[in-house]
């Protein structure tokens, strides 16, 4: 009985730790170990890389959005990297008669492989990575560039705002998005944040290291920057606008794919979990990524042990009932049968954790997702 109770409390703690306890700990730590970085009005030469695969419907709007950004024309090049697009994407890009717009059309090889090729051909001191459906506010490049006036900063990431009605009506960030942004902000204030937002992040070109084709670029590129002794930081004023992904099914497969590729990247880069060499960042990586990916198993263990302890114990019975209600509410929210906040939050948690289980299965079975198709 004591073993079961110990297992229950351990699983309970580890389920809540990545999402609730860790953010509070890193917030408190940021108050005592705050390391601000310099910002200035410097304007380095920027190469903005737009990764595309069959984005005929949105690429014209994306290029127009980029051309309208407030940044010196002579210091900006817009490189559209097409990963073997088979629709009219390449033709749309070629229709722009602006010397800043450059098309790099490669054979289908995966996003990471295409980035490895393109990075050697761009001229910018700073390289900004983004996606076709991610629109930038006018001041965004200047907001990104100001951070690189500090020589210690190697990579700057932003975050994604979601909007509807053709990018005109912004949605309030969900609880998970707000939590993720705040956690990265606190990590940045201490040393470096874990990972980047693939829709908007920038790196000093000199720090880019060639990636494995199975690497997830917005996770491994920041790891490589940390490995070179530079900082990875979130600037809360750096963001892009996107319309929400098309439905729960597509989001499920996206999360499963991200989990699979991130687990593979962590396995190939275990040295970053060494606190002797990487200090607080090793703790951040363990807490923010590794333990968060383990939550589905801790949650399942909590449910199983509470059910085993249920006979004759009201507390464990209550826990089992609450968990059951959470699962039911998550299923209802996932199916879209109700729009309450609790159902939406439960649905997001359920979807994410089930997708992570699928990602774990694919990782353990040695299945790597190298090709990509935008989930829209």
In SS3 terms, 65-104 reads as HHHCCCCCHHHEEEEEEEECCCCCHHHHHHCCCCCCEEEE
Q: What angle do CA 297, 301, 305 make, to 5 degrees?
A: 175
pLDDT (tens digit per residue) in 13-32: 999 999 999 999 999 999 99
Answer whether residue 368 shows pLDDT above 70. yes
Q: Which backbone phi and psi does 211 adopt, to 5 degrees? A: -100, 155
pLDDT (tens digit per residue) in 294-320: 999 999 999 899 888 887 688 888 888
Please give the pLDDT value at position 370.
Answer: 62
Q: Using an 8 Å Cβ cutoff, are 185 and 261 in contact?
A: no
**Looking at residues 221-244, what average pLDDT do you find?**
94
Q: What angle do CA 271, 116, 58 make, to 5 degrees?
A: 115
pLDDT (tens digit per residue) in 69-92: 999 999 999 999 999 999 899 999
pLDDT (tens digit per residue) in 141-196: 999 999 999 999 999 999 998 876 555 555 555 677 888 999 999 999 999 999 99
End-to-end CA distance of the chain, in Å? 49
Listing DSSP states for 9-53 in one string gives HHHHHHHHIIIIIHHHHHHHHHHHS------------EEEEEEES
Q: Using an 8 Å Cβ cutoff, are 376 and 245 in contact?
A: yes
Counting residues of the chain whose pLDDT is more than 70, the rounded percentage is 92
Answer whether residue 338 shows pLDDT above 70. no
Residues 6 or more apart whose CB falls under 8 angstroms from that of 77 comprise 46, 47, 48, 100, 102, 122, 123, 124
Long-range contacts of 185-188 (CB under 8 A, 24+ apart): 185/234, 185/236, 186/23, 186/26, 186/27, 186/29, 186/30, 187/26, 187/30, 187/234, 187/284, 187/288, 188/231, 188/232, 188/233, 188/234
Please give the sequence-ordered ranges of beta strands (E in DSSP) within the chain, or none if there are none: 46-52, 76-83, 101-106, 126-131, 153-164, 169-170, 200-204, 231-242
Dist CA 155 CA 374 (whole Å): 24
Tokens coding 146: 């100001």
Please give the pLDDT value at position 372.
Answer: 57
More confidently predicted of 344 and 270? 270
| Residue 152 per-residue DSSP state | T
Please give the pLDDT value at position 44.
Answer: 95
Tokens coding 328: 């039911």
The confidence band for 375, taking pLDDT boundaries of 50, 70 and 90, is low
| Residue 128 per-residue DSSP state | E
Please give the pLDDT value at position 234.
Answer: 97
Ordered structural domains, the chain, with CATH: 46-244 (3.90.550.10), 291-364 (no CATH)
Q: Using an 8 Å Cβ cutoff, are 299 and 327 in contact?
A: no
Please give the pLDDT value at position 69.
Answer: 96
Answer whether residue 123 shows pLDDT above 80. yes
Dist CA 287 CA 26 (whole Å): 10
Counting residues of the chain whose pLDDT is more than 90, the rounded percentage is 69
């Amino acid at each position: 009985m004591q073993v079961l109770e110990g297992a229950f409390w351990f699983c309970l703690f580890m389920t809540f730790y990545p999402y609730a306890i860790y953010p509070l700990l890193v917030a408190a730590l940021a108050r005592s170990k705050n390391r601000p970085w310099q910002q200035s009005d410097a304007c380095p030469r920027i190469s903005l890389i737009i990764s595309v695969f069959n984005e005929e419907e949105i690429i014209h709007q994306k290029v127009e959005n980029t051309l309208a950004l407030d940044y010196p024309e002579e210091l900006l090049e817009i490189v559209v990297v097409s990963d073997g697009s088979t629709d009219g994407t390449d033709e749309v890009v070629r229709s722009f008669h602006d010397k800043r717009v450059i098309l790099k059309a490669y054979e289908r090889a995966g996003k990471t492989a295409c980035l490895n090729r393109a990075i050697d051909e761009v001229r910018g001191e700073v390289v900004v990575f983004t996606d076709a459906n991610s629109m930038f506010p006018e001041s965004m490049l200047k907001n990104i560039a100001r951070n690189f006036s500090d020589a210690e900063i190697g990579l700057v990431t932003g975050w994604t705002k979601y909007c509807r009605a053709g990018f005109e009506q912004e949605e309030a960030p969900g609880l998970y998005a707000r939590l993720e942004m705040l956690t990265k902000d606190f990590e940045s204030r201490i040393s470096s944040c874990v990972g980047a937002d693939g829709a908007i992040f920038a790196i000093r070109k000199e720090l880019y290291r060639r990636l494995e084709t199975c690497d997830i670029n917005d996770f491994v590129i920041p790891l490589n920057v940390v490995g070179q002794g530079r900082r990875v930081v979130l600037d809360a004023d750096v963001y892009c606008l996107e319309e929400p992904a098309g439905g729960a099914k597509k989001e499920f497969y996206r999360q499963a794919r991200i989990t699979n590729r991130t687990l593979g990247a962590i396995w190939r880069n275990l040295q970053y979990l060494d606190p002797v060499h990487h200090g607080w960042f090793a703790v951040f990586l363990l807490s923010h990524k590794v333990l968060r990916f383990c939550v589905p198993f801790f949650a399942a263990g909590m449910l199983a042990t509470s059910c085993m302890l249920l006979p004759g114990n009201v507390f464990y019975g209550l826990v089992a009932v609450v968990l059951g209600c959470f699962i039911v509410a998550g299923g209802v929210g996932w199916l879209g049968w109700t729009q309450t906040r609790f159902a939406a939050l439960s649905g997001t948690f359920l979807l994410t954790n089930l997708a992570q289980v699928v990602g774990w299965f694919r990782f353990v079975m040695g299945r790597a997702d190298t090709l990509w198709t935008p989930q829209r």
